[in-house]
Amino acid sequence: MATVTLTPFSDREGDDRLSSRGRPGRRDADRRELLAIVKARSFKTGDFTLASGKRSNLYFNMKPTMMDPRGAELVALAFLAIIEAVDAEYVSGLEIGAVPSIGSIAALSSTMGKPVRTTFVRKAAKEHGTRELIEGLGPDESLAGKRVLVVDDVATSGGSILQAIEAVRAAGGEVTDGACIVDRNEGGRELLARHGVTLHAILHASDFVGSA
């Protein structure tokens, strides 16, 4: 299984492993444009308490980027490059952070002629109807034996990604890789590694150091 390393922009010259799918030569420009969109729409500095309970001077709310037309496209393109590199058959992730990008991935992959099937994992099973924990599978579809890339918007401790991974594995899916838009580099990569998963990130907290 391929290992994907996305280094800071300054170190990416000459690295063609993750060129934008179907658009060679656009990789660096796309990443720089996405970084600018995230800085403008989804990034703040200050004194914040994160979902993990930790305090930080960096805060990311990725919804305004994932719901922006161009931001959604750029995120999906970057994830599709990772999907191709790790040879994933499905993409999944925990609600709600992963859901906007998962929808963009499904739509763009179809448009590009290489459809990728997607699901998402509920934080808790529905209390009515079919009581599904994993949503998106058709009547005759199963994750059993399928290679699944688990994604999220931001990785901090890695707990959200791990929760989705455990649900996918319980459904029979094979998970060796995870991916996020921004890795805060606060232990998520290490946690997932202990569970046999390599985390791939489009952007890193270091890309935002010094930003106003």
- Does the residue 1 lie in any domain? no
Residue 151: C-alpha distances to residues 39, 91, 94, 96 (Å): 21, 7, 8, 11
Asked whether residue 118 is assigned to any structural domain, the reply reads: yes
Letter for the amino acid at 78? A
- Asked if the structure places residue 142 within a domain, the reply is yes
Q: How far is CA 149 from CA 23, 54, 66, in A?
A: 22, 27, 18
Question: Which residues in the chain show pLDDT less than 70?
Answer: 1-25, 49, 51-53, 126-131, 210-212
Asked whether residue 193 is assigned to any structural domain, the reply reads yes
What is the pTM assigned to this prediction?
0.84
Number of domains composing the chain: 1
Q: What integer pLDDT is reported at residue 52 of this predicted model?
A: 65
CATH of the domain at 171: 3.40.50.2020
Non-local (6+) Cβ contacts of 141 within 8 A are 117
Flag whether 51 is in a domain: yes
122 is in which domain, residue-wise? 9-208
Report if residue 2 sits inside a domain: no
Q: In sequence order, which residues have a C-beta less than 8 Å from that of residue 188 and are 6 or more positions away?
A: 155, 156, 157, 158, 161, 180, 199
